[in-house]
Amino acid sequence: MRKISVRVACFLALLLSYCSQPERAPEEVRVRLAVDPETLNPVNYSRAESLQIINLLFQSLLSADLGTNTIKPFLAEAMPSVERQDSITLFTYEIRKEAEWTDGSPVTAQDVAFTLKVAKAPLLNNESLKPQLEFIKDIRLDAGNPQRFTFVCSGFAPEMELLTGDFFILPAYLYDPENLLLHLNVADLHNGQQAVAQDEKLKTFAAQFNTPAFGHDPRLLQGSGGYVLENWQNGQYLTLTRKKDWWGNNTSNTQHLTANPQRVSFQVIPDITTALLALQNRQLDVLENIPAHEFEQLRKQESFLKDYNLHTPDAYDFYYAGINTRNPKFSDKRTRQAIAHLLDVNNIIQVSQMSYATPTVGIIPPSVKEFYNSNLQPINHDANKASTLLQEAEWIREADGWFKNIDGKREQLTVEVIYRAGNTNFENAAAILKQNASHLDIPVQVQGEESTLLSSRSKQHNFELYFRSLSGNPFAFNFKPLLHTAYAGMGGLNYTGFGTSESDSILDKISGTVPDREQQAVLLRRLQEIMQEEAAIIPMYYTKERLAVHRRFTNTKVSGLKPGYDVSAFTLKQE
Amino acid sequence: MRHLWHSILKLWRSKWGFRLALVYLLLFVAVALILPWLPLPFSPSMLDTNHTFLPPLSAKAIATGHWLGTDGLGRDVFTNTLFGARTTILISFPVMLLATALGLVMGTGAGFWGNDKLKLRRSTALAGVLASSAALYYGLYLPLQLRQLESGSVYIAGALAVLLVLLLILGLAAIILQKKRNFWSTAIRIPVDAVVMRITEAVTSVPRFVVILVLASFVPPSLPILVLLLVLTLWPDVARLSRAEMARIKQLSYFEAGRSMGTPPVRLVWRHALPNLVGPVLVAFTFGLGGLLALESTLSFLNIGVPSELVSWGRIIAGVRSNTSAWWLVAIPGTALSVTILALYTCSHYLSITFGLKRHS
Amino acid sequence: MPAHLLRKVLLLVPAAWLAGTLVFLLSRLIPGSYGENQILNVEASFYSKSSQQSREQAFREYQQKNGLDKPLFYFSLSPTAVPDTLHRVYPEPRRKQLEQLALSVGSWPEVAAYDLQVQRIQSLPLPLSKQEQQAISTLRYSSSFPALEQAAELLQNKPVTPEVAQRLAALNQALEALVDSRQILASLLPRLSWHGIQNQYHSWLVAALSGDFGNSYRTGRPALTEVRQGIGNTLLLLLVSMLVVLAMALELSILMVRRKLLWLRRALLPSLFILDSVPALVLAFLLLVLLANPAFLQLFPVYGMGYYTSGSLSAWQQLSLKLQYMALPMLTLVLVNLPYLTSQVHTSLQAALQASYSRTAKAKGLSEGQVIRRHALRNALLPIITIVSDFLPALVSGSILIETVFAIPGIGRLLVESVLARDTPVLVLIVLVVLVVRALSYFSADILYTKADPRLKHSIL
């Protein structure tokens, strides 16, 4: 017995002896991932985590530079030249001369054509990219310059320029060494010819391409980016190492093409609580999306601040409430305005974001000063005003609530609030709305819905009020699919049914003719006014990103754009 | 019944642990039931957004009346813990009652009839199978399909009418077939015991938590469905126990005597078997209730199968995820949960000693 | 292999088939598949990256490619009026409308005719007011007859070209035919349609029989690979904590049955009883908040299963690194399961001590410790085998929660993630694996049993 006790004691001692934290290599950046990226296939990824990593392996023609929050040419030499013809638009690009693949061969227009074929071909697992490149009808290669080419796109929209550059270019030599797709052409694939699906070579290629290897194998995940995949322990961690002599480091005056840290290691830590503890143990160098309350606590910890910088850049996540205007109870805009007055945005921000958010009057981020309508007054919590508005909308207050005759039926004013189950921000907002409405005897029923159910209810217009968020950006402001009445039908993105003839014409103008930015600003400001008046979409706030970065790094390019920093730019501070 | 009452009374007099646990449980149930009429300073969903994450018994907490602190929205932890108790009782009690009833019926049936005591004519068996499939189609599937129609009630009434006619025809057909001596009138044995045991094995072959997790992902979160899922996974425990007890009771001489005198089975079971079953079943009931409380709070913590607005202990505990330093969000409902389970286990423990049963999981 | 073991193995096959079939069919019956979430329900942004039509097209291709457009089972039973090819109609609201119309009318041809007319109206390039748009939307998606008639009436007033007028008239005619042919009884008759082996279930079953459980929807990798990667950590966690629990339970029980250590028994049994009442959820969080929080006591690293370290480590080093991360989850599992096991072992040990052989041994003059270890323990082990094999499922459920709280990439977390993402292939496989592991634990218990006591060889059949 004694022997066993000794053994148990030894075991415990062994455990405790290992409880000191492991040493860290200084040139490595350690980042948290909330979930395993699952696949790194540059054509068929679906998670933001995958995108963050693929961005270090592969490159697109254009991309956002987080240092300046602007779109910059990455693989392209410069922004494309645009030429509009009747029903088509031409975008002409030239790829950087020095750009090369891992094996040293240059990136050419052929690679771009190959990528388009992969995106458009049938049989391949390309469902997530295919709809996005639907508007590119064809590619024209320049006979004289192997790195110059032109996209032929149908119609025109202001975001097209951005979209033509927004997909990863694949290495044809690596993905298709037997040239199985060479004989196909982009225009045929675009037109969806039946014969193509029977093509034997394509079938062979599909059989290869659809294997998981194209999303996992380090030998295949080699693009023109500065890093290669070194190790991937599923569900635990994933490391990238810098290429030995990457071409991007040799280009002059391109601050945004970087690959500085020797190694980037991504740790999969699903639970934010555990991630925070890891950060406090100095086991992570960067952590984004820190819950507001924890962030506030970190801010007070002297010892933590010695090692980490805290940042709160303005993010582009728009949080709003949407009211179904088709519902007879809410078809009067004064009723909707009354609800807007009950929302109490400031309190919601205080509770769920601890003031790390900016209230907004409209859909444009307040940080985009050029277009934000600063003349509008935000709608504040005002129960009296709400009650006046309800009376104007012909609701009559009785002992047990508000009533109105709608289509001959006596209806009570009740609100059913839905949001995505598990989202505490919305849960809090709904609780506050419920509390404020209860003072006016308006019963509010709150239900968190599973995301599939929520989107099907929104699509089928089977809701009264929902809370949602919208991920925005500072680059393009074409709200037509979101706000135009042409998209208010079943399945369209205009779930609330917002729209007046004036707002429709504004949206048409913004998406059609290219006005100068000044004129665009006038239109967008007016749009915000109309939206506030209509109160179908009640804007609440834009969040601030909350992140911590270790102090030993500079040039972190902290930004409101996701993921909030550019890990490839991190450089060690010179001590 | 009298025997049970006497044993409990004896326990009450002799064991202070049992007395304590029982008093706690009775108080707990009483408070939970009359809670809505108690003059509490706060309601469970009342927000106090100026005072979020107040630690218990801090100066600010005492000043604002939130003695046991508040959560991230300024909801009073004390009130929420009380209302969480109410939710727990309102869910767990009916679930356990239903599961016990179902288990009791299945278990005593299996124990009583065994594999060869229940005989049915072929015609009756066939009519039964046909009738239940008709009932499934017209009584369950079609109404569910027709429910969303505009004048759905007319259609549903139609479906039920068709079902009624079908059942009548089947009944008549069975009777006519029985009249003559032929293939259909011969009796076959129904292996009740084997069937029930196979079903309990099937239900328990996969851990309960896994079953509920998988099934709950297929349906929208709602209380009735959760209750149904819990009942469907909980009954085998009681069924096994009552089957074993029934098999034992069946061997007793007075039972044999009653049987040979031709007493109808229902009366036999009701008169002689049930009084003997009550004790063991009560033990299983209290013990199962304890496990159910833990399961229910885990589910509401994971937010699986539970409506989001429900005030529950699991939800309060989940609040610690957004602020790790708010230890009281774990400690207070955690203590309430543990103490309640402890009280239930204590009762179960003493009862099982009285009824001479071994403790089981 | 003994005959009764073989019989149990054979019994496992129908159980596995039943469980797999049930999970598979249930998962296909619910709305919202993985592909639908990924392809159709794209979050809106400031500009749209793709049109609704192109997404729907992509989704249909995805379904065809994966055989998801085939019927679910060998046969289906549905009301006569609803055709069995209806599941191919897109988008979903339109399918729903047609289904409901068919149900309430009781006959399909009229519904099909109406559908065609609505499509023809929709294809007209007309400038529409907001009201008229809504009316067309009603015609397309509503299944309420008064609403349909109202919408059709509203469109009648539109000043139009002869072509439009003609189409509107045709629509009205189709609608009238629809209303007139309503029959309640017709929609109640069931129809059995036979789909043959071209169905989703059959393809799944055939593949599963040949060992191919499909690819995970989320990662695109074989479900088997996914599960294999997760199971290692879970088994390590389970086995180590089970061994620790077992060792501790034995030691504690041995201590408790000694006469000299009565005080220990008096203190230990109630505290174990109290510990038993603390649910795993509460225990895990208490330990996390107490022992791994810099604000209180920072003893353990808390998440995952360690880092990638370049350079090779010896097996011993790797294991110790892993153990360090597993300390807290294991501690939780041990604490959760210790009370039950200890009380069981204690009970059976006590029973063994009462038995005659122990008393004989004592009479022979052996010391108390020798009696306990040499005689009582060996005999008490027999019931313990059963207890341990019974105990494994409880461990599996416990590990699900603990893996979720402590972020351990094991099979429990995989299960929770697959449940949330509706990754059916992985889900089915995990349920099967749990089933098989449980059965295996029973077999090994059986074998140990017969080894320990040859007399039982035939009685446990």
DSSP string, A456-468: HHHHTT--SEEEE
* Chain A contact present for B145, CB below 8 A: no
| Maximum mean pLDDT: which of A358-372, B246-260, C81-95, C99-113 | A358-372
Quick one: B121 and B214 in the same domain? no
The last residue of a domain, from among B175, B190, B205:
B190
Please check whether residue A168 is in contact with residue A44, taking contact to mean a CB–CB distance below 8 angstroms.
Answer: no
When mean pLDDT is compared across A335-344, A514-523, C120-129, the lowest value belongs to C120-129
Q: Give per-residue pLDDT as tens, B203-215.
A: 877 778 888 887 7
CATH number where B35 lies = 1.10.3720.10
Q: What are phi and psi of A233, to 5 degrees?
A: -95, 105
Nearest by CB to A435, which of B47, B72, B322? B47
Quick one: B86 and B216 in the same domain? yes
Which residues of chain B neighbour C286 with C-beta distances below 8 Å? 330-331, 334
CA dihedral sign of residues C431, C434, C438, C444? positive
Q: Give per-residue pLDDT as tens, C12-29.
A: 788 788 888 888 887 777
Please check whether residue C392 is in contact with residue C441, taking contact to mean a CB–CB distance below 8 angstroms.
Answer: yes
Question: A 476-535 residues with CB below 8 A of C?
Answer: 476-482, 485-486, 488-493, 499
Quick one: B186 and B206 in the same domain? no
Do C38 and A46 lie within an 8 Å CB cutoff?
yes
Please check whether residue A454 is in contact with residue A419, taking contact to mean a CB–CB distance below 8 angstroms.
Answer: yes
**Alpha carbon of A435: minimum distance to chain B alpha carbons (Å):** 7
Place of tokens 């598990």: A422
Residue B58: its pLDDT value, please? 86
Using a pLDDT cut of 90, give the percent of chain A over it. Answer: 58
Do A448 and B49 lie within an 8 Å CB cutoff?
no
Contacts of C402 (CB under 8 A, 6+ apart): C237, C280, C284, C329, C332, C333, C408, C412
Quick one: B164 and B293 in the same domain? no
Residue B22: its pLDDT value, please? 92
Residue C400: its pLDDT value, please? 84
**B359 domain residue, yes or no:** no
The pTM score is: 0.81
Phi-psi region of A416 (alpha: psi -120 to 50; beta: other; left: phi over 0): beta
Please check whether residue C237 is in contact with residue C333, taking contact to mean a CB–CB distance below 8 angstroms.
Answer: yes
Which residues of chain C neighbour A271 with C-beta distances below 8 Å? 303, 404-405, 407
Return mean pLDDT, chain B: 84
Using a pLDDT cut of 70, give the percent of chain B over it. Answer: 97
Task: Please state, as a whole number, how many other Cβ atoms lie within 10 Å of the Cβ of residue B252.
Answer: 13
Place of tokens 């490391």: A239
When mean pLDDT is compared across A470-484, B254-268, C384-398, the lowest value belongs to C384-398
Nearest by CB to B330, which of C18, C286, C397? C286
pLDDT bucket at C313, cuts 50 / 70 / 90: low
> Mean pLDDT across the stretch A445-450?
83
Return mean pLDDT, chain A: 88
Do B47 and A432 lie within an 8 Å CB cutoff?
yes
Quick one: B314 and B276 in the same domain? yes
Please check whether residue B296 is in contact with residue B92, taking contact to mean a CB–CB distance below 8 angstroms.
Answer: yes
Residue C296: its pLDDT value, please? 64
d(CA A566, CA A226): 13
Quick one: B89 and B177 in the same domain? no
pLDDT at C444 over 60: yes
**B23 domain residue, yes or no:** yes
When mean pLDDT is compared across A142-146, B71-75, C13-17, C84-88, the lowest value belongs to C84-88
Residue A515: its pLDDT value, please? 64
pLDDT bucket at B359, cuts 50 / 70 / 90: very low
Domain enclosing residue B184, as ranges: 117-190
> Mean pLDDT across the stretch A227-253?
86
d(CA B305, CA B225): 8
CA angle C258, C263, C268 (to 5 degrees): 90
> Mean pLDDT across the stretch B309-321?
84
* Chain C contact present for A407, CB below 8 A: no
d(CA A269, CA C305): 10
Q: Residue A49 CA to chain centroid, in angstroms?
A: 11
pLDDT at B192 over 80: yes
pLDDT bucket at B262, cuts 50 / 70 / 90: confident
Quick one: B181 and B57 in the same domain? no
Contacts of B247 (CB under 8 A, 6+ apart): B111, B114
> Do the strands A415-420 and A444-449 form a parallel or antiparallel pair, or are they unpaired?
parallel
Domain total of chain B = 2
Q: Give per-residue pLDDT as tens, B280-298.
A: 888 889 989 998 998 888 8
Nearest by CB to B149, which of C100, C190, C281? C100
Which residues of chain B neighbour C295 with C-beta distances below 8 Å? 324-325
Instruction: List chains adjacent to chain C, taking adjacency as at least 3 C-beta pairs closer than 8 Å.
Output: A, B
Q: Residue B309 CA to chain centroid, in angstroms?
A: 22
> Mean pLDDT across the stretch C107-120?
88
Tell me the CA distances in angstroms from A12 to C235, C239, C322, C324, C341, one per residue in order. Answer: 21, 17, 14, 10, 21
**B20 domain residue, yes or no:** yes
Do A19 and C215 lie within an 8 Å CB cutoff?
no
pLDDT at A20 over 50: no
Residue A141: its pLDDT value, please? 94
**B360 domain residue, yes or no:** no
Question: C 183-242 residues with CB below 8 A of A?
Answer: 215, 218-222, 226, 229-230
Q: Which residue has the higher pLDDT, A376 or B118?
A: A376
Question: A 198-227 residues with CB below 8 A of B?
Answer: none
Please check whether residue C58 is in contact with residue A127, taking contact to mean a CB–CB distance below 8 angstroms.
Answer: yes
Residue A58: its pLDDT value, please? 96
Do C324 and A41 lie within an 8 Å CB cutoff?
no
Quick one: B213 and B97 in the same domain? yes
Instruction: List chains adjacent to chain B, taking adjacency as at least 3 C-beta pairs closer than 8 Å.
Output: A, C
Which residues of chain B neighbour C145 with C-beta distances below 8 Å? 150
In terms of C-beta density within 10 A (0-12 exposed, 13-18 middle, 19 or more buried), how is residue A244 classed? exposed
Quick one: B219 and B141 in the same domain? no
Q: Give per-residue pLDDT as tens, C244-296.
A: 988 998 888 888 888 777 888 888 888 888 898 898 889 988 888 777 666 66
Return mean pLDDT, chain C: 79
When mean pLDDT is compared across A42-46, A155-159, A161-165, C451-455, the lowest value belongs to C451-455
Which residues of chain C neighbour B321 with C-beta distances below 8 Å? none
Quick one: B172 and B243 in the same domain? no
pLDDT bucket at B335, cuts 50 / 70 / 90: very high
Q: Which helix (H) or strand (E) holds A317?
A: strand A314-323
The last residue of a domain, from among B174, B190, B206:
B190
Question: C 316-345 residues with CB below 8 A of A?
Answer: 320-321, 323-324, 327
**B361 domain residue, yes or no:** no
Helix axes B77-113, B192-204, angle to 10 degrees: 150
pLDDT at A177 over 70: yes
Q: Supply A386's token pair.
A: 């709400």
* CATH of segment(s) C223-460: 1.10.3720.10
pLDDT at C453 over 80: no
Quick one: B173 and B84 in the same domain? no
Residue A17: its pLDDT value, please? 45
Please check whether residue B78 is in contact with residue B48, taking contact to mean a CB–CB distance below 8 angstroms.
Answer: no
B-C CB pairs within 8 A amount to: 144
Residue A1: its pLDDT value, please? 42
Contacts of C184 (CB under 8 A, 6+ apart): B154, B155, B158, C106
pLDDT at C125 over 80: no
pLDDT bucket at A263, cuts 50 / 70 / 90: very high
* Chain A contact present for C351, CB below 8 A: no
The last residue of a domain, from among B138, B173, B190:
B190
pLDDT at B127 over 60: yes
Using a pLDDT cut of 90, give the percent of chain B over it. Answer: 20
Nearest by CB to C294, which of A280, A455, A499? A280
Please check whether residue C90 is in contact with residue C60, taking contact to mean a CB–CB distance below 8 angstroms.
Answer: yes
Residue B180: its pLDDT value, please? 72
In terms of C-beta density within 10 A (0-12 exposed, 13-18 middle, 19 or more buried), how is residue B36 classed? exposed
What is the interface pTM, i.e. ipTM, of the complex?
A: 0.81
Instruction: Domain ranges for chain C, please list them.
Output: 34-209, 223-460
Quick one: B132 and B233 in the same domain? no
Q: Which residue has the higher pLDDT, A53 or C276?
A: A53
Q: Supply A330's token pair.
A: 């809410």
Q: Listing from the earlier edge strand, what are the strands of the sheet with A148-154?
A: A81-84, A88-94, A148-154, A136-141
pLDDT at C310 over 50: no
